[in-house]
Amino acid sequence: MSQPTIESILQENRLFHPSAEFSQTARIKSLGEYRALCDRASADPQAFWADLARQELHWFQPWDSVLDWSDPPFAKWFTQGKLNLSYNCLDRHLTTDKRDKPAIVWEGEPGDSRTLTYAELHQDVCKFANVLKDLGVQKGDRVGIYMPMIPEAAIAMLACARIGAPHSVVFGGFSAEALRDRLIDVEANVVITADGGWRKDAIVPLKEQVDTALKDARVAVHHVLVVQRTGQATAMEPGRDVWWHDLAPTASTNCPAEPMDSEDMLFVLYTSGSTGKPKGVVHTTGGYNLYAHITTQWIFDLQENDVYWCTADVGWITGHTYVVYGVLSNGATSVMYEGAPRGSNPGCFWDVIEKHQVSVFYTAPTAIRAFIKMGDEHPKARDLSSLRLLGTVGEPINPEAWMWYHTVIGGERCPIVDTWWQTETGGIMITALPGAIPTKPGSATLPFPGIQADVVDLEGNSVGVNEGGYLAVRYPHPGMMRTIYGDPDRFRRTYWEHIPPKDGNYLYFAGDGARRDEDGYFWVMGRVDDVINSAGHRLGTMEIESALVSHPAVAEAAVVGKPDDIKGEDIVAFVTLEGTHQSSEALAKELKQHVTKEIGAIARPGEIRFAEALPKTRSGKIMRRLLRDLAAGAEISGDTSTLEDRGVLEKLREG
**Is residue 418 part of an annotated ligand binding site?**
yes
Single residue of 149, 444, 560, 636 touching ligand PRX by CB under 6 A: 444
Exposure letters 176-188 (e unless 16+ CB within 10 A, then b): bbbbbbbbbbbbb
Distance CA 394, CA 396 (A): 7
Residue 197 or residue 511: which is nearer to ligand PRX going by CB? 511
Q: Is 455 in the site for ligand PRX (CB under 6 A)?
A: no
Binding-site member from 437, 524, 559, 636 for ligand PRX (CB under 6 A): 524
Amino acid occupying residue 637 = S
Instruction: Yes or no: say if 142 and 189 are a contact pair by the CB < 8 Å rule.
Output: yes
Which region among 82-90, 292-300, 347-355, 420-428 touches ligand PRX (by CB under 6 A)?
Answer: 420-428
Q: Which is nearer to ligand PRX, 393 or 558 (CB)?
A: 393
The answer to the question of whether 202 is labelled as a binding residue is: yes
Q: Is 422 annotated as a binding residue?
A: yes
For helices 45-56 and 285-299, angle between their N-to-C axes, nearest 10 degrees: 80
Give 287 or 526: the residue with its C-beta nearer to ligand PRX.
526
Query: How big is the CA angle at 277 (ends 274 and 282), to the nearest 5 degrees?
Result: 90
How far, in Å, CA of 318 to CA of 315, rounded?
Answer: 8
Q: Nearest approach, Cβ of 271 to ligand PRX (angstroms)?
A: 5
SS3 assignment for 425-479: HCCCCECCCCCCCCECCCCCECECCCCCEEEECCCCCECCCCCCEEEEECCCCCC
Residue 323 · residue 316 · CB < 8 Å: no
Among 421, 509, 521, 610, binds ligand PRX (CB under 6 A): 421
CA dist 174 and 50 (Å) reads 39
Least Å distance, CB 452 to ligand PRX, is 17
User: What DSSP element (H or E) covers 207?
Assistant: helix 206-214
C-beta closer to ligand PRX: residue 32 or 520? 520
Q: Answer yes or no whether residue 300 interacts with ligand PRX by CB under 6 A.
A: no
Using the minimum distance from each CB to ligand PRX, give the nearer residue, 90 or 317.
317
Of the candidates 156, 169, 172, which has an alpha carbon nearest to the alpha carbon of residue 104?
156
- 420 annotated to bind ligand: yes
395 is in an annotated binding site: yes
Ranges within 534-553 binding ligand PRX (CB under 6 A) = 538
Nearer to ligand PRX, 388 or 538 (CB): 538
Q: Counting contacts by CB under 6 A, is residue 310 touching ligand PRX?
A: no
Quick note: the x/- pattern for ligand PRX over 384-413, rule CB under 6 A, is ---------xxxx-----------------
Residues binding ligand PRX: number (CB under 6 A): 22
Q: Is the peptide bond before 73 cis (omega within 30 degrees of 0)?
A: yes
295 in contact with ligand PRX (CB under 6 A): no
Site stretch for ligand PRX (CB under 6 A), options 248-256, 341-349, 372-380, 414-422: 414-422
Is 529 part of any known ligand binding site? Answer: no
Window 257-286: residues binding ligand PRX (CB under 6 A): 271
User: Of 59 and 308, which has the nearer Cβ to ligand PRX?
Assistant: 308
Which of 209, 533, 534, 541 is in the footprint of ligand PRX by CB under 6 A? 533
Q: Interface with ligand PRX includes 190 (CB under 6 A)? A: no
Cα-based distances in Å from 417 to 113, 137, 330: 28, 40, 19
Return the H-helix or E-strand segment holding 349.
helix 348-356
Q: Is 569 in the site for ligand PRX (CB under 6 A)?
A: no
Tell which one of 91, 211, 258, 418 touches ligand PRX (CB under 6 A): 418
Q: Which is nearer to ligand PRX, 78 or 521 (CB)?
A: 521
DSSP for 398-433? Answer: PHHHHHHIIIIITTTTS-EEEEB--GGGSS--B---
- List, as one string, the DSSP characters of 298-348: HHTT--TT-EEEE---TTSHHHIIIIIIHHHHTT-EEEEE-----TT-TTH
Task: CB nearer to ligand PRX: give 527 or 616.
Answer: 527
Query: What is the DSSP annotation of 526-550?
Result: EESSSEEEETTEEEEHHHHHHHHHT
How many Cβ atoms are within 10 Å of 336's Cβ, its own excluded? 27
Residues 483-512: x/- map of binding to ligand PRX (CB under 6 A)?
---------------------------xxx
Of the listed pieces 33-41, 243-251, 415-423, 624-632, which binds ligand PRX according to CB under 6 A? 415-423
User: 549 among the known binding-site residues?
Assistant: yes
Among 189, 297, 311, 419, binds ligand PRX (CB under 6 A): 419
396 marked as part of a ligand binding site: yes
Q: Rule CB under 6 A: is residue 311 a binding residue for ligand PRX?
A: no
318 lines the binding site for ligand PRX (CB under 6 A): yes
Rounded to a whole number of angstroms, the minimum distance from the CB of residue 652 to ligand PRX is 27
- Min. distance of Cβ 217 from ligand PRX in angstroms? 31
Q: Name the DSSP class of 89.
A: I
Q: What minimum distance in Å lies between the beta carbon of 643 and ligand PRX?
A: 28
Dihedral pair phi/psi, residue 45, rounded to 5° = -55, -40
Residue by residue, DSSP assigns 231-281 as: -------TTTEEEHHHHGGGS-S--PPP-EETTSEEEEEEE--SSSSPEEE
Q: Edge-to-edge strands of the sheet including 223-227?
A: 241-243, 223-227, 190-194, 143-146, 167-169, 265-271, 279-284, 483-484
Q: What angle do CA 366, 169, 153 make, to 5 degrees?
A: 90
- What DSSP assignment string belongs to 93-123? HHTTTTTTSEEEEEE-TTS-EEEEEHHHHHH
Does 224 belong to an annotated binding site?
no
x/- mask, ligand PRX, residues 340-379, rule CB under 6 A, reads ----------------------------------------
318 known ligand binder: yes
442 and 36 Cβ atoms separated by less than 8 Å: no
Residues at the binding site for CoA are 199-202, 318
Residues at the binding site for Mg(2+) are 549, 551, 554
Contacts with ligand PRX, residue ranges (CB under 6 A):
271, 317-318, 393-396, 418-423, 444, 510-512, 524, 526-527, 533, 538
Residues at the binding site are 199-202, 318, 394-396, 418-423, 512, 527, 538, 549, 551, 554
